[in-house]
Amino acid sequence: MSISTASRPNGANADGSAATAGDRRGEVVVSDIGLDYNGVPALADTDLHVHAGEFFTLLGPSGSGKTTLLRIIAGLLDPARGTLHIDGTDVTRTPTQKRDIGFVFQNYALFPHLTVAENIEYGLKVRKLPAAKRAARVAEMVDLVALGGYADRYPAQLSGGQQQRVALGRALAQNPRVLLLDEPLGALDRGLREELGAEVRRIQQESNTTAVYVTHDQEEAFILSDRMGVMRDGRICQLGTPEELYREPKDLFVAKFLGKTNLFPGRLTGTDAGSAHVRVGDHDLTARANPAIAGADVVCSVRPEQLILGGAGAAVPAGLQRIADAAITEVRFLGQRRSIHLDADGIACSVDLDPAAPAPAVGDRVSLLVRPGEIALVAAEPAAGA
């Protein structure tokens, strides 16, 4: 199923029309939230603003604090400090069942003895909704999650993907202000994850709810998110749209974590009008300025698809800059691209080429060229012992 992943303005309705203050629903504001385990910080004092109607993803490696933050938003963990507001109301100490949130766990947590319809209906019965309204809402959810004809089946009779849809339907049945999802696709194979990721996004948009999604899978985050936050060691390193984080990482961890990149050490020589001038080996380059950089030791981050191969010793074409000379060490055909591996005076790097273009040969000497605006600059990590 094809869906649009384009962001809509903060607080906008699903149809793109402007939202009034009364329409805004599901805004999450985290202020200085922190939590320690046995005196060790699991979540540093953290600020986060998730806009109403937004699909926001917390992305990071295991142990980065993303699930801890999600469970604090859900009320499953109590923070040691800080406050949490949903739609302007302080819910920091409000029990989970009174926060008006839906939660989808990684293992779905379905009741095995209840049918699809009964699983979806469960929370509505707890809230003592009249039977007629329950039936209408269950029918609506079954249709939304595309499980027509499966309402009378039990979880054991469903595939993993179908179980995930039941969990989504159950979480959305109560029309929550915020939908929280803790790696709900983690147990599925990649093909199914891509298909159901699109379904999760479609369902979130059609239900017009705010979603906060936790994953360690970068592709998943790119496909689903309006915005995302990369976490490490209990801290949010950087917030932004997927494209902003990929093209303009603010530190070395984000540059390396979000996909493949080539890293060339350099020396910052000056800045002007939003650009930075850097010396890499014998070459002078222009990169995007990064206000987070304080010192002169920097690293140029260039994605494999941003590098261009030129002839060794040949003149550099207009609009390009030479970043290094290199020797080709390996050529791999990967279907949609050809991956070229190189050695640039001890720096291992790679270039992605059109698979239909002529393939260079192992051992060829080449120049690595780049457009000035495609160089992202980050601070170098301090030397060990510094």
Residue 13 has pLDDT above 50, yes or no: no
For tokens 């890499």, the residue is: 280
pLDDT at 206 > cutoff 90: no
Give yes or no: residues 228 and 269 share one domain.
no
pLDDT for 21 equals 40
Buried b (16+ CB within 10 A) or exposed e, 46-62: bebebbbbbbbbbbbee
Note whether 218 and 92 are same-domain residues.
Answer: yes
Instruction: Write out pLDDT tens, residues 253-306.
Output: 999 999 899 999 999 999 988 899 999 999 999 999 998 898 899 999 999 999
Which of 183, 218, 247 marks a domain boundary?
A: 247
The pLDDT-based confidence of 23 (bands split at 50, 70, 90) is: low
Are 220 and 286 in a shared domain?
Answer: no
Whichever domain contains 84, its CATH number is 3.40.50.300
Contact (Cβ atoms closer than 8 angstroms) between residue 323 and residue 285: yes
| DSSP tag of 304 | G
Same domain, 209 and 273: no
Average pLDDT over residues 131-144: 92
Residues of the domain holding 130: 28-247
The Cα 249–Cα 258 span in angstroms is 9
Burial class (CB in 10 A: 0-12, 13-18, 19+), 132: exposed
Give domain status of residue 111, yes or no. yes
SS3 of 162, please?
A: helix
13 within domain boundaries: no
With a cut of 50, say whether residue 200 has pLDDT above it: yes
Statement to judge: residues 232 and 346 lie in one domain: no
**Cα torsion angle, 239, 241, 247, 248, sign:** negative
User: What token pair was written down for 230?
Assistant: 């990369």
The domain total for the chain is: 2
Considering the domain boundaries, does residue 386 fall inside one? no
What's the mean pLDDT when you consider all of the chain? 88
Whether 8 maps to a domain, the answer reads no
**Tell me: the pLDDT tens digits for 64-112?**
999 999 999 999 999 999 999 999 999 999 999 899 999 988 787 899 9
For the whole model, what pTM was predicted? 0.86
With 0-12 / 13-18 / 19 or more C-beta atoms within 10 angstroms meaning exposed / middle / buried, residue 97 is exposed
Question: pLDDT band at residue 199, thresholds of 50, 70 and 90?
Answer: confident
**Judgement on whether residues 311 and 218 belong to the same structural domain of the protein:** no
The pairs formed by 273-282 with CB atoms below 8 angstroms and a separation of 24 or more are 275/372, 276/377, 278/375, 278/377, 280/323, 280/324, 281/324, 281/345
Q: Do 361 and 236 have their domain in common?
A: no
Q: Is the distance from CB of 238 to CB of 339 less than 8 angstroms?
A: no
